[in-house]
Amino acid sequence: MSMLLDVQNLESWYGPIKAMQGVNLTVSAGQIVAVLGANGAGKTTLLNTLAGVLDPFKGKIRFDGTETQGLDADAIARRGLVLVPEGRQVYPFLSVADNLTMGAYARRDKRVAQDRAQVLDWFPRLRERLNQQAGLLSGGEQQMLAIGRAWMSGPKLLMLDEPSLGLSPLLMREIFGIIARIRQETGVAVLVVEQNAAVALNHADFGYIMELGRVVAADSCEALKAKDDVRDAYLGVAGHGSSGTAQRWKRKRNWR
């Protein structure tokens, strides 16, 4: 598989606060890659830096053959590195149909109608609500619309920041089912940040775990699921040798 995204030694700051450092990460064509980590670990910072919302202080981002660090967000999205931000951010006063149209505003090719039909096939609920204001959709439907709108911009790599946040377990599975279908039917790669580690590790091929702005583990999801530290910290399963929650959290993790 060819390398689609290659991130080297990436570092980002918010003013005086270093939020992410030394991050190396790759995504191959057609791969689903998950990024896990506690609140404040730097996951959103990573995606925002890749999307050009935030300029890195250091490091290289190579996407689909060109270096994209320092380019503005529009230029990066036009190359096919597209972010669905945390909290959905659909245009609340526009209809579902117009939100989808907005996703395609920068495109010059003739496949827009085809992509719109594709989105409505993946998300039949959006078809039923095409003329409804986006702000009146449920949380799950807004997430579907946000993914659909991102699809309309023609991604080669779709980045999703916590797509299941605030959703019921049923909707969570539905959203991840569609993510798997998008990859299977189109071969587009996905980089997904997710709080629900179990769901993410069950749907992705490869995973990264971040802590305090750094990548502390990177492995296939199968291997990550088998690590005691991952099971303890993210899957809510006690590893052997730990008795009681307090002790488990205090234990030094080495991520092996």
Which of 31, 44, 153, 196 is in the footprint of ligand ATP by CB under 6 A? Answer: 44
143 binds Mg ion (CB under 5 A): no
Least distance in Å: CB of 196 to ligand ATP? 11
Which of 7, 41, 147, 182 is in the footprint of ligand ATP by CB under 6 A? Answer: 41
Q: What are phi and psi of 168, to 5 degrees?
A: -65, 160
Under 8 Å between Cβ of 205 and 29: no
Under 8 Å between Cβ of 32 and 190: yes
Nearer Cβ to ligand ATP, position 29 or 212? Answer: 212
Residues in region 186-225 near ligand ATP by CB under 6 A: none
Q: Which of 214, 254, 232 is CA-nearest to residue 42? A: 214
Which of 4, 10, 34, 37 is in the footprint of ligand ATP by CB under 6 A? Answer: 37
What is the spatial distance between Cα 110 and Cα 114, in angstroms, rounded to a whole number? 8
| Count of residues that bind ligand ATP according to CB under 6 A | 11
| Both tokens assigned to 82 | 């597209």
Least distance in Å: CB of 142 to Mg ion? 17
31 binds ligand ATP (CB under 6 A): no
3-state SS of 189-214 is EEEEECCCHHHHHHHCCEEEEEECCE
19 binds ligand ATP (CB under 6 A): yes
Least distance in Å: CB of 97 to Mg ion? 29
- The amino acid at 246: A
12 binds ligand ATP (CB under 6 A): no
43 binds ligand ATP (CB under 6 A): yes
Nearest-10 Cα torsion for 220, 226, 230, 232: 170
Q: Which does 154 bind (CB under 5 to 8 A by kind): Mg ion, ligand ATP, none?
A: none
44 binds Mg ion (CB under 5 A): yes
Q: Where are the alpha helices (DSSP H) in the chain?
A: 43-51, 73-78, 96-103, 112-122, 124-128, 139-152, 169-186, 197-203, 221-226, 228-234, 245-250
Please report, as ranges, the residues that interact with ligand ATP according to CB under 6 A.
14, 17, 19, 37, 39-45
Please report, as ranges, the residues that interact with Mg ion according to CB under 5 A.
43-44
